[in-house]
Amino acid sequence: MAEKIKARVMDARKIKRALHRMATEIIERNRDLSSLVIVGIRTRGIYLGKRVSSMIKELENIKIPVGVLDITLYRDDFSELEAQHMVKKTEIDFSVVDKDILLVDDVLFTGRTIRAAMDSLIDLGRPKSIQLFILIDRGHRELPIRADYVGKFLPTSKREIVQVHLKEIDETDEVLITEPVDTT
Amino acid sequence: MPFDHKHLLGIEFLPKKDILTILDTAESFVEISTREVKKVPILRGKTIINLFFEPSTRTRSSFELAAKRLSADIINFNRQFSSVVKGETLKDTVLNLESMQSDALIIRHNCPGVPHYISTFCRSHVINAGDGAHEHPTQALLDAFTIRQQKKKLEGLKILIVGDILHSRVARSNIFLLSKMGAEIACVGPPALLPEEFKEFGIACDYDLDRAIQGADVIMMLRIQSERQQKNLFPSLREYKDIFSLTPKRFRRAKRNAIIMHPGPINRGVEISADLADSAKSVILRQVENGIAVRMAVLYLLLGGKERETTD
């Protein structure tokens, strides 16, 4: 199905400013940064997590490790998926026990991905806390989940699609609102 | 890359891209077995039955652990303690077990084609865990996974399979798989155990291990099935040992970084010297370890996701 672009809500500069602000908020809220670890949800959460880690490094000169979480095996909508999701690797080479985990994803929508991610993290050990870091909160939650750090609140209709593009994999940094167009 | 198969009956008719999907998926499952909680919830609520009509240590427990680490429920059917000994037919046994709402049946049988036959009348996914001298697909997949892990590729490798090729389902599945991947395969064994037809698949056949081993990247030893010795397919175990046993001296003729594989169970001192089996060149236990990740991948790809209309 084709889709049309309805709006370009963030560009590279806006994304960078939002991430900077959020990095500062993280430093403010976590007095002990030595117990902080970042876990990015595949795929775009990884790159956002890495960017935030290097911003914290610049500001506080402390290196926050970044892990990668694949939540395919924890999804609750698994049997409804049309095609099969490829399972990719979870790569968290540090212990999460007693750590403050900063869970990073690009878009917060129904909250089901975050539920799956939290289940998965807790199976890896008992963290001290989990904080949620989201670039775009587009509403329409189906579970009682909210983010601790939000780049931008973006009211959307359910029909719309929010696309976050990051230059690490998409060539450019931008956030788009698109809508499927019926070609029939 | 969708994996559109209902059953895994063999490697022969499995396209290369689907083999790669299984191997790549298995990479992601390795890490789960290293966790403190070795379990993910993806197959919660699925019921799997291990239906083994032949003895097995590795394959049965490997499938059982793979299913459990994906949170499926699995039960083991044991021929000896079943109604099969009271004369129940294979079909009735399967239909009865299936009426307990199984989602997958993992089948080992000494007759070739049994998993295929079962797949023609049952609703569950069928996985072949070894049928006679026909195929043992998950063994070939875990072998390929192990080779890829060690050598970083399959294409162009020189792979030598040694021993009783004729009776070996492991050899057949491996030959199908590795030739699809572009490896160069040679088989060595006593003439009566080395089917000439394999040459048609582009497989080199040799009767001289000392010659064939030269330049090999991977040496895959097969178990000498001494139970077949009654048929006099080779003169004596001692002679077999002299000619076809993998000894340190013979192994030195292979490539310097060659690896030794064996599907198990090994006969120490017969097809392989005990020292070599335990040496750093041997990846035999690595094969067993990888077996779990590969079987998790197979179970996930077959049972995960929506029920689809498929062609096989």
CATH code matching the domain that covers B16-135+289-303, chosen among 3.30.870.10, 3.40.50.1370, 1.10.3720.10, 3.40.50.2020: 3.40.50.1370
* CA geometry: angle A174, A176, A182, nearest 5 deg: 150
ipTM above 0.90, yes or no: no
Residue numbers in B near A125 (CB within 8 A): 36
Of A62, A58, A15, the residue nearest A37 (C-alpha): A62
Cα-based distances in Å from B160 to B31, B144, B246, B286: 30, 13, 12, 18
The label of the residue with tokens 């077996």 reads: B291
Q: Where are the domains of chain B?
A: 16-135+289-303, 137-286
Enumerate helices (H) and strands (E) in chain A, giving the number of each. 4, 8
Cα(A110)–Cα(A130) distance, rounded to whole angstroms? Answer: 18
> Cβ separation of B41 and A83 shorter than 8 Å?
no
In a mutagenesis test of the A interface, which of B20, B40, B103 is the best target, namely the one with the most A β-carbons within 10 Å? Answer: B40
Range of the domain at A79: 12-26+34-156
Q: Is residue A99 part of a domain?
A: yes
Strand, helix or coil for residue A164: strand
Cα(B43)–Cα(B66) distance, rounded to whole angstroms? Answer: 11
Q: Classify strands B104-109 and B125-131 as parallel, antiparallel or unpaired.
A: parallel
Of B36, B41, B297, the CB nearest to A74: B41
Q: Which residues of A touch B (CB under 8 A)?
A: 70, 72-75, 78-91, 119-120, 123-125
What single letter denotes the amino acid at residue B159?
Answer: I
Cα-based distances in Å from B143 to B9, B97, B245, B287: 17, 31, 21, 6
Give the model's pLDDT for residue B312.
Answer: 42
pTM value is 0.90
Q: State the CATH number of the domain containing residue A47.
A: 3.40.50.2020
Residue numbers in A near B24 (CB within 8 A): 86
Give the model's pLDDT for residue B36.
Answer: 85
If one counts every other C-beta atom within 10 angstroms of the C-beta of residue B308, the result is 12
The DSSP code for B79 is G
Q: Is residue A93 part of a domain?
A: yes
The DSSP code for A85 is P
> Cβ separation of A124 and B306 shorter than 8 Å?
no
Residues 6+ apart with CB under 8 A from B232: none
In a mutagenesis test of the B interface, which of A69, A87, A90, A115 is the best target, namely the one with the most B β-carbons within 10 Å? Answer: A87
Residue numbers in A near B299 (CB within 8 A): none
Residue numbers in B near A119 (CB within 8 A): 41
Shortest distance between the Cα of B308 and any Cα of chain A, in A, equals: 9
Copy the structure tokens of residue B246.
């993998």
Residue numbers in A near B36 (CB within 8 A): 124-125
> Cβ separation of A123 and B304 shorter than 8 Å?
no
pLDDT tens digits, residue range B83-111?
777 888 999 999 999 999 999 999 999 99
> Cβ separation of B40 and A70 shorter than 8 Å?
no
Q: Is residue A115 part of a domain?
A: yes
Architecture of the domain defined by B137-286: 3-Layer(aba) Sandwich (3.40)
Of B164, B86, B114, the residue nearest B10 (C-alpha): B114
Of B29, B32, B305, the CB nearest to A84: B305
Q: Is residue A92 part of a domain?
A: yes
Residue numbers in B near A79 (CB within 8 A): 305-306
Number of domains in chain A: 1
Residue numbers in A near B70 (CB within 8 A): 73
Of B2, B35, B300, the CB nearest to A87: B300
Of B36, B37, B304, the CB nearest to A84: B304
Shortest distance between the Cα of A112 and any Cα of chain B, in A, equals: 15
Residue of A nearest to B303 (CA): A79
Regions of chain B where pLDDT drops below 70 = 1, 227-230, 305-312
Residues 6+ apart with CB under 8 A from A61: none
Contact B145, B152 (CB under 8 A): no
- Distance, C-alpha B238 to centroid of its chain: 27
Per-residue burial over A130-161, b if 16 or more Cβ lie within 10 Å, else e, is bbbbbbbbbeeeeeebebbbbbeebebeeebb
Residue numbers in B near A74 (CB within 8 A): 40-42
> Cβ separation of B35 and A83 shorter than 8 Å?
no
Residues 6+ apart with CB under 8 A from B269: B241, B245
If one counts every other C-beta atom within 10 angstroms of the C-beta of residue B125, the result is 21
Q: Is residue A105 part of a domain?
A: yes
Cα(B104)–Cα(B6) distance, rounded to whole angstroms? Answer: 10
Mean pLDDT by 10 residues, chain A (184 residues): 89 97 97 96 96 97 96 74 72 94 97 95 94 97 97 94 95 94 74
- Kind and range of the H or E run holding A101: strand A100-108
> Cβ separation of A89 and B300 shorter than 8 Å?
no
Residue of B nearest to A116 (CA): B41
- Distance, C-alpha B207 to centroid of its chain: 24
The dihedral through the CA atoms of B289, B292, B293, B295 has a sign that is: positive
